[in-house]
Chain A
Amino acid sequence: MNPRRSYFLLTALVLGFAFLYIPILSMMLFSFNESRLVTVWGGFSTKWYGELLRDRQLLSGLWLSLRIAFVTACGAVVVGTLAGLALARFGRFRGRTLLSGMVAAPLVMPEVITGLSLLLLFVAFAPLPFVPDQRGFSTIAIAHITLTLSYVTVVVQSRLATMDESLEEAAMDLGARPTKVFFVITLPIIAPALASGWLLAFTLSLDDLVIATFTAGPSTNTLPMMIFSKVRLGVTPEINALATVMVCVVTLFVIAAGVMTSRQQRARQRDAQAAAAGR
């Protein structure tokens, strides 16, 4: 590679990553600030973490958001995997175009439109007997499943597309029925894709402000809604502490997932080499 050009690319990388990480790092640094003035350094302190633990309102919002995210992730994985399976394996079927359109559209739909339309749906259907009469947990979870199942579908569909279909065919030839093939062969192979889809749905749900605000009832307050109203009133060091905790947890998860994937890849390569040597 031309050294001059690689210097250019190196500079671009360094500046780009500085742009991506300086805000996060500065927020983490100031979460340990003694002073209430968020941006003037007043000595090291962990008192904002103590405040955070004593803030019952914020913690109850976190608990609610975590529960919604859990239900959302499980629901989105079930529905999203079915959609991914249908799109990747069933070839042409009636309603395929509509299904793939409806799967792709939420990925790029502005949140305000999704939120507004789902709220209007819940309001319009409110008189019907099986609809929850209070908007809150269930309506937010339904909205979040609708939003996130597309992400699961995309992940599962692309995993199925790169998967070796001959394994499934071999199992079918040996007389296994489609359901059995799916649970014994396909599911274990695509399990990592399901796990990353689940985590993606969980994170997106935990993070969502706009759709939750539209679909929540007046007494429901998720964590992002609380953060948003606090931030609008001004910056509070407590939020810095909360952000630091969340960033650290997510980083640990992502690093663990990354290590696991690369280990799996290496094991697969080793197996392939061993197989080649054995032959």
Chain B
Amino acid sequence: MTSPHRRPSGLLRRAGFTGRTAVVGVPWLWLLLFFLVPFLIVLKISFAETQLAVPPYTPMFEWVEGQYLQLRLHASNYAYLFQDSLYFQAFLSSLKVAAVSTVLCLLIGYPMAYGIARSSPSGRNILLLLVILPFWTSFLLRVYAWIGLLRNNGVINNALMALGIIDEPIVMLQTDFAMYVGIVYSYLPFMILPLYANLEKHDHTLLEAAADLGCRPFRAFLRITLPLSKPGIIAGSMLVFIPAIGEFVIPRLLGGSDSLMIGRVLWDEFFSNRDWPVASAVAIALLLLLVIPIMVFQRYQAQEMSGGARR
């Protein structure tokens, strides 16, 4: 007897096409087409040359005299990246800005995450909500808010002058200081959340045992809590460091006109100079720079996920 529910598409199934295939296939194809293929195109164009045409780069394959197909790869864009010290310095200073911001986020975020993890359960939920709330509000508008605070006639300078601490405004906007403030401010929730998720799981009795054995609290923190929170520190740091390297909006709005960030260089190369091949080469170089931190993050993420599944 055949049940009325029986799937009619026996032919499709025999061809290996099942509901499972569809579930896997849709996101797989989507990401292949809109995530992986675009990178291959960037890679391809990074080996092209600029030309005045639409699109503004030379094709990779060309028919020569209508007979044979010529493959044209120009490494000149990469050579250019190495020769012009602007790019090298932009990469270096992006690394520096990202590293310093990550450390600052860690220094501010760790005590906050620890404080939240050790407060009462009801207080914990409210504090967590307060950490997440800025994350939900517009990033662009939050960066913009700092312009109002840091300007020469902004809130901070006005307050300091009214209090008589300074006589003339301190120039803060469009400096590296403002850029760091903006990056730390924007990425702080990304540091706090993974740290909290880790610290919250810690077994409190370990610290009590240490105290019973005469260990001072700070030493107990250094020898127990800090090593145990290493996965949280790694995850939070990667979540700050990786996007900070390619950051464009914050250096553009808060940093000085001479601030060299690779995201900004890529943007200008593309939109101002209309040099698509060089912009592509910058993107590929940036990606190579990020491969190691991204792989560290992915491994951590996979561990967390499988750990969650086992529980």
Contact residues in B for A129 (Cβ distance below 8 Å): none
Residues of chain B from 239 to 293 with CB closer than 8 A to chain A in the complex = 239, 242-243, 245-249, 252-253, 263, 266-267, 270, 276, 279-280, 283, 286-287, 290, 293
A103, CB-defined interface residue at 8 Å: yes
Closest to B239 in A: A108
Which of B69-77, B78-86, B123-131, B226-234 is found at the contact surface with chain A?
Answer: B123-131
Of the candidates A27, A98, A246, A258, which one forms a contact with B148 in the assembled complex, judged by CB atoms under 8 Å apart? A27
Contact residues in B for A116 (Cβ distance below 8 Å): 42, 266, 270, 279-280, 283
Report yes or no: A105 in contact with B35, Cβ–Cβ below 8 A.
yes
B209, CB-defined interface residue at 8 Å: no
A232 to B217, CA, bound (A): 49
A276 to B252, CA, bound (A): 59
A71, CB-defined interface residue at 8 Å: no
Of the candidates B115, B148, B263, B302, which one forms a contact with A12 in the assembled complex, judged by CB atoms under 8 Å apart? B115
Report yes or no: B308 in contact with A103, Cβ–Cβ below 8 A.
no
Report yes or no: B153 in contact with A37, Cβ–Cβ below 8 A.
yes
A80, CB-defined interface residue at 8 Å: yes
Contacts across chains A and B counted by CB atoms under 8 Å: 253
Of the candidates A8, A117, A206, A255, which one forms a contact with B39 in the assembled complex, judged by CB atoms under 8 Å apart? A117
Closest to B211 in A: A2
Contact residues in A for B55 (Cβ distance below 8 Å): 123-124
Query: Given that A10-B115, A161-B309 are contacting pairs, would A153 and B134 also be in contact in the complex, using a CB cutoff of 8 Å?
Result: no
Chain B's interface: helix, strand, loop or mixed, by majority? Answer: helix
Q: Report A67 CB to chain B, min CB distance, Å.
A: 17
B63, CB-defined interface residue at 8 Å: no
Report yes or no: A16 in contact with B217, Cβ–Cβ below 8 A.
no
Contact with B along A221-261 (1 / 0, CB 8 A): 00010011001100100011011001100110111001000
Residues on B close to A: CB < 8 A?
5, 19-20, 23-24, 26-28, 30-32, 34-39, 41-42, 45, 55, 108-109, 111-112, 114-116, 118, 125, 127, 129-134, 136-142, 144-149, 151, 153-155, 158, 185, 188-189, 217-218, 238-239, 242-243, 245-249, 252-253, 263, 266-267, 270, 276, 279-280, 283, 286-287, 290, 293-294, 297-298, 301-302, 305, 308-309, 311
Subset of 10 A-B contacts with CB under 8 Å = A26-B145, A39-B155, A79-B30, A83-B28, A112-B283, A113-B283, A117-B283, A149-B31, A179-B19, A210-B248
Residues on A close to B: CB < 8 A?
1-2, 4-6, 8-10, 12-13, 16-17, 19-24, 26-27, 30, 37-40, 78-80, 82-83, 85-86, 88, 90, 93, 95, 98-106, 108-113, 116-118, 120-121, 123-124, 142-143, 145-146, 149, 153, 157-158, 161-162, 177-179, 203, 206-207, 209-210, 214, 224, 227-228, 231-232, 235, 239-240, 242-243, 246-247, 250-251, 253-255, 258, 262
